[in-house]
Amino acid sequence: MSSSKRLDDLIAALQIMPGIGPVSAARIAYALLDYKRPEGLKLSEILKSALNEIALCPECRNYTDQEGQRCAICEDFHRRDRGVLCVVETPQDVDAIENSGIFFGTYYVLHGHLSPLDGVGPSELGLDILASRLSQGKVHELILALSQSVEGDATAQYIAAIARKHGVKVTTVATGVPVGGDIRSTDGSTLALSIENRREFR
């Protein structure tokens, strides 16, 4: 505990971030107060704006700058093949695939995977929106790029059934993503090969 309640509150607040414990939080807090106050104030403004304004794209559920606005990827009608749709678990997965430089289709972000025990079902993953998108007949291939886990496999099977109902070919990334691993933690070159060598999902 410090000599200031506000400082203690700042240190406690910083610990909500992944990987930030008491020692790291205190180091950041003191740095902001000692010689980073202008940058800290700017950070607080950006953080407030991001948390208040950033929303989900109504088409793919990736993050976008404001409510009701499509994201930059969905707005890119010139470079994107709208007939190929890649389903991922998180927005970070989208970033990882984009950074691989191999994929020029569009995405659908689940923000998780099926987990009935945790209260996560099809509606929480927006699978009704996905089904509606597939029913339009514009998508001819759906790529499953989900984590290699029991939950990821169950989610993949559920989505594949929806896609096939609408006559959409279903593929999955090739080996390279480790068992128990996820897309966002896979290095770019391995991820590029996995997408390029994708196989039919069974």
pLDDT in tens, 90-137: 999 999 999 988 899 999 999 999 998 899 999 999 999 999 999 999
Cα Dmax for the chain: 66
Structural tokens at position 185: 């933690």
Q: Which domains are seen in the chain, by residue range?
A: 5-53 (1.10.8.420), 75-200 (3.40.1360.10)
Start-to-end C-alpha separation, the chain: 57
**Is this model's pTM higher than 0.85 or not?**
yes
pLDDT in tens, 42-99: 999 999 999 999 999 999 999 999 999 999 999 998 999 999 999 999 999 999 999 9
Report helix angle 150-165 to 127-135, nearest 10.
Answer: 30
